């Protein structure tokens, strides 16, 4: 499995973005991204041009749409576009299930962003319980720019963990909600762990299986290793027991780590199975022993500095132990 950097939430001139689809794909390539999802508000008309540009430029383009409803925004990647106008709090789970059956991934976008009337539907008003999120594939624990420094992302990360504590496995995602060029603030990326040939289907499978992590400037190559020599990638579902969590904290393929002076300090695995920490103080190898029982989870996190401020620099989909 190889983890590739993606942007999973973008807008073009087909809704309220500033760039033509071709330009968005070109910018994704220039940013060092392997792939980009086009998620225009309530339309799919820009997907074809973006996919053609992706083939030309060597960027994997995932066609999508953002259901921009009155009650919440959902990014629908691949599959059928569905009818966003029919989606409401009473039927949202049924509509998400229909989209999933068509082959789509459906994610919760910026759940804690200020909503009406600033960003209508921008705040998650579905009224769902943590267990209900099991039908979704991914959850934007971070969104927008400078994600690690925004209080709304702290709230979203807390809600994400609340869903995990309910025993629901849902991929941890970042959405830049990329509308236009802004150069003053840094962005994060979503890394997708893809088995075999990277294409639209295998990218969506990575999300469905939860092989994802989100980061600003950091690449995490790490596994849970059992005493029997079995390796588990981020987001996997190992048996309960004792493991070595080991790997390397490296610079991200994009330019964020250098441009914004990212300094990883502590690697953490935390969750209902406890908190395990290992100091790295730089881009280095690490190793720690962890233990978890059936039904518990441990989420990978990396803390450190960005532009001189302490922040959470990376978080991933937890290991859920069976």
Partner 1 sequence: MSKIPNNANEEFVTLLLHEQKILPSEVNRHIAIPIRVSQEYAWLVFKYEYQPKIFDDPIASMEYIRKCAEESSVSVESLMHEANALKNHLTLSIDSPDGWVGTAHRHNNKLEIVINSQRSTEGFLPTPITMGKWIATVSTHCVLSPVNVKLKVVGCKSL
Binding site for partner 1 (CB under 8 A): 12-16, 40-46, 68, 70, 81, 83-85, 112-118, 120-121, 123, 151-152, 155
Report, in this order, helix, strand and coil percent for the chain, each rounded to 5.
20, 35, 40
Q: Closest distance between partner 1 and the C-beta of residue 15, in Å?
A: 5
Nearer CB in complex with partner 1: 42/205: 42
Task: Write the CB contacts of 183 (distance below 8 Å, at least 6 apart in sequence).
Answer: none
Nearer CB in complex with partner 1: 5/111: 111
Show the tokens assigned to 29: 């390539």
Nearer CB in complex with partner 1: 278/311: 311
Q: Closest distance between partner 1 and the C-beta of residue 23, in Å?
A: 13
Strands, E, within the chain: which ranges? Answer: 2-7, 35-38, 60-68, 73-77, 105-108, 138-143, 171-175, 189-194, 212-215, 218-225, 231-232, 241-251, 263-271, 274-279, 285-292, 297-306, 309-316, 319-320
Q: Closest distance between partner 1 and the C-beta of residue 139, in Å?
A: 17
Nearer CB in complex with partner 1: 119/266: 119
Spacing of C-alpha 193 from chain mean position: 11
Q: Closest distance between partner 1 and the C-beta of residue 28, in Å?
A: 19
Q: Any idea what DSSP says for residue 231?
A: E
Task: Write the CB contacts of 207 (distance below 8 Å, at least 6 apart in sequence).
Answer: 77, 105, 107, 137, 138, 171, 173, 192
Q: Closest distance between partner 1 and the C-beta of residue 199, in Å?
A: 24
Q: Closest distance between partner 1 and the C-beta of residue 13, in Å?
A: 5
Query: If 0-12 CB within 10 Å is exposed, 13-18 middle and 19+ buried, where does residue 250 land?
Result: middle
Nearer CB in complex with partner 1: 119/278: 119
Distance CA 268, CA 271 (A): 10
Q: Closest distance between partner 1 and the C-beta of residue 154, in Å?
A: 10
Nearer CB in complex with partner 1: 16/185: 16
Distance CA 140, CA 235 (A): 16
Spacing of C-alpha 119 from chain mean position: 21
Distance CA 20, CA 13 (A): 5
Distance CA 224, CA 291 (A): 11
Q: Closest distance between partner 1 and the C-beta of residue 50, in Å?
A: 12
Nearer CB in complex with partner 1: 55/120: 120
Nearer CB in complex with partner 1: 16/195: 16
Distance CA 62, CA 203 (A): 8
């Amino acid at each position: 499995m190889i983890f590739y950097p993606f942007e999973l939430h973008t807008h073009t001139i087909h809704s309220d973005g500033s760039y033509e689809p071709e330009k968005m794909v070109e910018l994704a390539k220039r940013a060092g991204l392997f792939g980009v999802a086009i998620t225009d508000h309530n339309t799919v008309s820009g997907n074809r041009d973006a996919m053609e540009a992706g083939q030309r430029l060597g960027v994997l383009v995932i066609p999508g749409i953002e259901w921009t409803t009155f009650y919440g925004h959902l990014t629908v990647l691949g599959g059928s576009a569905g009818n966003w106008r029919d989606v409401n709090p009473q039927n949202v789970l049924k509509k998400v299930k229909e989209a999933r059956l068509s082959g789509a991934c459906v994610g919760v976008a910026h759940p804690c962003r200020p909503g009406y009337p600033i960003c209508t539907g921008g705040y998650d008003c579905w009224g769902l319980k943590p267990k209900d999120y099991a039908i979704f594939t991914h959850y934007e624990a971070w969104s927008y720019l400078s994600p690690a420094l925004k209080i709304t992302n702290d709230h979203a990360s807390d809600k994400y963990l609340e869903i995990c504590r309910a025993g629901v496995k849902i991929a941890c995602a970042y959405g830049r909600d990329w509308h236009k060029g802004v150069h003053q603030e840094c962005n994060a990326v979503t890394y997708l762990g893809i088995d075999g040939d990277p294409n639209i289907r295998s990218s969506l499978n990575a999300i469905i299986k939860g092989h994802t992590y989100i980061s600003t400037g950091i690449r995490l190559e790490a596994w849970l290793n059992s005493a029997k020599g079995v390796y588990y990638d981020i987001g996997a579902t190992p048996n309960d027991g004792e493991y070595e969590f080991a790997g390397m904290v490296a610079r991200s393929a994009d330019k964020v780590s250098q441009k914004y002076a990212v300094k990883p300090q502590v690697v953490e695995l935390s969750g209902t199975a406890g908190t395990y920490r290992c100091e790295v103080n730089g881009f280095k190898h690490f190793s720690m022993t962890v233990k978890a029982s059936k039904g518990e989870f441990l989420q990978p996190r990396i803390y450190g500095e960005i532009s001189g401020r302490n922040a959470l620099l990376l978080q991933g989909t937890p290991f859920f132990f069976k």
